[in-house]
Amino acid sequence: MATLSDIPGRVMLVGAGKMGGAMLEGWLDLGLEPAKAAVIDPGPPPEVASMLAARGVALNPLNGGPPAVMVLAVKPQVAPDVLARVAPLASPDTLIVSVMAGRTLGFLEAAFAPGQPVVRSIPNTPAAIGRGVTVAVANAAVSEGQASIADALLRATGGVEWVEDEALIDVATAVSGSGPAYVFLLAEALAAAGAQAGLPPDMADRLARATVSGAGELMRRSGIDPAQLRRNVTSPNGTTAAALAVLMDEERGFGPLLADAVVAAARRSRELAG
Ligand X SMILES: NC(=O)C1=CN([C@@H]2O[C@H](COP(=O)(O)OP(=O)(O)OC[C@H]3O[C@@H](n4cnc5c(N)ncnc54)[C@H](O)[C@@H]3O)[C@@H](O)[C@H]2O)C=CC1
Which parts of this chain interact with ligand X (CB under 6 A)?
14-20, 40-45, 73-76, 78, 82, 99-101, 122-125, 177
> What residue is closest to ligand X based on CB?
17
For ligand A1CAB, the closer of residues 116 and 125 by Cβ is 125
Closest separation in Å from C-beta 75 to ligand X? 5
Near ligand A1CAB by CB under 6 A, which window of 172-180, 206-214, 221-229, 254-262? Answer: 172-180
The answer to the question of residue 20 lying near ligand A1CAB (CB under 6 A) is: no
**Phi/psi at 136 (5° precision):** -140, 150
Distances in whole angstroms, Cα of residue 191 to Cα of each of 19, 187, 203, 229: 27, 6, 8, 21
Is 18 labelled as part of a ligand binding site? no
Q: Number of C-alpha atoms within 13 angstroms, CB side, residue 116?
A: 26
CB burial readout 222-239, b (16+ within 10 A) else e: eeeeeeeeeeeeeeeeee
Stretch that binds ligand A1CAB, among 50-58, 131-139, 171-179, 243-251 (CB under 6 A): 171-179
Which one of residues 2, 23, 101, 141 is an interface residue with ligand A1CAB (CB under 6 A)? 101
Is 75 annotated as a binding-site member?
A: yes
Phi, then psi, of 12 in degrees rounded to 5: -105, 120
C-alpha gyration radius of the chain: 21
Residue 63 annotated in ligand binding: yes
Taking alpha carbons only, the member of 126, 112, 53, 58 closest to residue 82 is: 112
Is the separation of the CB atoms in 14 and 38 below 8 Å?
Answer: no
Contact status: 177 vs ligand A1CAB (CB under 6 A) = yes
| Distance (Å, whole) CA 262 – CA 220 | 23
Q: At its nearest, how many Å lie between ligand X and the CB of residue 127? A: 8
Binder of residue 100, out of ligand A1CAB, ligand X, none (CB less than 5 to 8 A by kind): ligand X
Residue count (the chain): 274
- Give the residue, chosen from 117, 137, 173, 208, that forms a contact with ligand A1CAB under the rule CB under 6 A: 173
Binding residues for NADPH: 63
Binding residues: 63, 73-76
**Residues within the interface to ligand A1CAB (CB under 6 A):** 101, 173, 177-178
